[in-house]
Amino acid sequence: MLTKTCLQIGLAGAVVVLGCALVPRVIAQTIPTRPPATNFSQGRGVAQGAAFSRGRNANVSLTVDGDNFGLELTEIQAANVRGQAPARVQYRGAITRRTDEPGVANSFSLFTRVRSFDSSANLRIITNTTGTCRIEVFNSRVLSSSCSTIADDSSTEFLGLEQF
């Protein structure tokens, strides 16, 4: 009985060794780098141009997803204004240059190429346009932006309120 058990254990061990020998060796692979996680910044200030006549209080949101960006400005309406849609402008495109502020987390300037433009002023979405945006962010707050495209009435300026 002991010989039979030793034979079975030896046979099982041989199968394991043979199985390990037949498994392909792991080859070192270069894992492609992922783009940075999506960053989201907000701000509040005054917007003018495009859908924002005479300068309007506005909220701004900036989404950075790898080399792409989205910038949306939305008018802040008083509580007593009803039945009127707030002004809204949205730019989307690619980041051409990013300059980080040394020593200050989540602070940078973006220089971008606009690919699409959306405005509530004329309810149009232009998906194939050209233009630029310059956006400044400090401590995850959008301080200012200046955007324009070749489309009529597509330029906006945003100046954030002082946060300090």
- Domain-wise residue ranges, the chain: 39-78+85-160
Where the chain has pLDDT below 50, the residues are: 7, 18, 26-35, 164
* 54-68 tens-digit pLDDT: 888 999 999 999 999
H or E stretch at 3: helix 2-22
C-beta neighbour count of 36 within 10 angstroms: 10
pLDDT of residue 3: 58
- Pull the structure tokens for residue 134: 């310059």
Strand, helix or coil at 76?
A: coil
Q: State whether residue 160 is helix, strand or coil.
A: strand
Give the pLDDT of residue 27: 46
Q: What is the pLDDT, as a whole number, of residue 1?
A: 54
